[in-house]
Amino acid sequence: MRGCSQHLRRDVVMQIMYVCTGNQCRSVMAEYYTRAKFADRGIGLQSGNITVRSAGTLHYPPHPR
């Protein structure tokens, strides 16, 4: 992402989806890391041109405690 803020155009839509098995750790961390890196570079996600999301492929019920 080095130098990408100078190259992003307003008419371009970028969608980033991180997928792992349970969406409990890896993909969620990747999503928030990516959001933080965009913010560090002054690239706002509020415009809707860039979306960053995470998802899982399996359903895990809540762990009984």
pLDDT (0 to 100) of residue 4:
58
Averaged pLDDT in 10-residue chunks for the chain of 65 residues = 59 90 91 94 84 90 76
Whole-angstrom distance, CA of residue 60 vs CA of residue 65: 15
- Residue 54 backbone dihedrals phi, psi, to 5 degrees: -135, 155
pLDDT (0 to 100) of residue 61:
76
Q: Against a cut of 0.75, is the pTM above it?
A: no
Judged on CB neighbours under 10 Å (0-12, 13-18, 19+), 51 is exposed
The SS3 call for residue 3 is coil
At 5, which amino acid appears?
A: S
pLDDT (0 to 100) of residue 1:
52
pLDDT (0 to 100) of residue 9:
66
Q: Where are the beta strands (DSSP E) in the chain?
A: 14-20, 50-56
